[in-house]
A = this chain, B = another copy of it.
Amino acid sequence: MARHAGVSTTAVSKVLRNAYGASPQMQTKVRAAIEELGYRPSAAARGLRGQTYTIGVMLPEIRNPFFADVLDGVTEHLNGTDYQLLMAQCCNDVAGEARLTDAMIDRSMDGLILIAPISSRRHLQAVARTVPTVVVGRHGHSADYDTVTDDDFAGAGLVVAHLAELGHRHIAHIEHLEKDPVRLVEMPNAQRADGYRHAMNAHGLADGINVVSTTYTQEGGYLGARQLLSRDVRPTAIFAGADIVAMGVFDALSEAGLSAPADISLAGYDNTTFAAFGPISLTTVDQAGHQMGGNAARLLLDRIADRARPTAQVKLSPTLVARRTTAPPSSQGRS
């Protein structure tokens, strides 16, 4: 290739990287040869010395549209740069996450964006010390990685305020069961549950606090709702910790011959496309996933440029999206 252009490989390398020390005529000569031979530099070989121009994104679940929003934000920010985004879905267990981060490091990626990781803090730190890393959707400072989060505590408060304003006093919450002490502080689900309790107290609704612990899945929502519906005192509103959980609640409601908001008000969290869908029209909280992704990408590129820069914590504010599944409590709902 270099021979074809009649120059040295160094020259080619320089032109490719727009590095210092390449005359205009050299540039044209090399570019012509590149064009002619359809030459493409091997990112793999390049990675042995310099950068691979590859950024890895780890996502826990591809089906959750919220993560797709985040991804769009990342993609958009990276458009026009030389970086290529490669993502991998992860398996929802700590060992799998470690395997995946290792795999990305082995492939000498230039930077990693970890979305809602469940790994130990210790592992995240180790990863971040090896390769520039941004953690999305997990609270907690670190000197090694930047973070982008949504203010989940405040978001839960928005939901409670909305329902309280409609006149609900007995507002139940379905949370994702969390036992690990670190994650209990850092995971969004825990923050939402805390925010719920705090807001209930703040609105003088301490008596209406009612939490069911399941998982952030449709199944979890279904089981949680069944539990709530079977209790002596039935809540007039349910705040599901995620839209996907609300889907499960819908299932349980229709099974019980109930509907929202006629019999019970229902709110979710994430503003997924599912929530926005007309026939559903779920009241929910918008996390601005797009912005989160954009911020993550920006922070990552900044860190790649300067690894010594102090870490940043970006916290975005959620907004309530009131739709048709929430309404004032029906009289029969009170008990």
Contacts and interface: CB of A to CB of B under 8 A. Distances in A.
Contact of A44 (B47, B100, B277, B279): B47
B103 A43 contact: yes
A257 interface: no
24 contacts: A40-B105, A41-B106, A42-B106, A43-B103, A43-B106, A43-B108, A44-B44, A44-B47, A44-B48, A45-B48, A48-B48, A62-B71, A63-B273, A71-B89, A84-B88, A85-B89, A86-B86, A86-B107, A87-B87, A87-B89, A250-B278, A250-B279, A251-B278, A254-B279
What bracket does the count of chain A residues touching chain B fall in?
35 or more
Contacts of A89: 71, 75, 85, 87
A54 interface: yes
Interface centre among A100, A274, A279 (most CB of B within 10 A): A279
A55 to B, nearest CB: 11
Contact of A65 (B52, B63, B251, B278): B63
A289 B62 CA distance: 15
Interface string A65-95: 1001001000100000000111111000000
A280 interface: yes
A165 interface: no
A130 to B, nearest CB: 10
A102 interface: yes
Contacts of A103: 43, 84
Interface string A45-59: 101100010101000
Contacts of A254: 278-279
Nearest to A69: B63
A85 B58 CA distance: 11
B87 A88 contact: yes
Interface in A266-283: 273-274, 277-280
A247 interface: yes
Nearest to A259: B279
Given A42-B48, A107-B107, 7 more contacts: A42-B106, A44-B44, A44-B52, A48-B48, A86-B107, A250-B279, A254-B279
Nearest to A41: B106
Contacts of A106: 40-44
A89 to B, nearest CB: 7
Nearest to A222: B278
Given A62-B62, A88-B84, A107-B54, A247 B42 contact: no
Given A254-B278, A278-B250, A279-B280, A107 B71 contact: no
A71 B52 CA distance: 25
Nearest to A250: B279
A198 B277 CA distance: 33
Interface string A182-220: 000000000000000000000000000000000000000
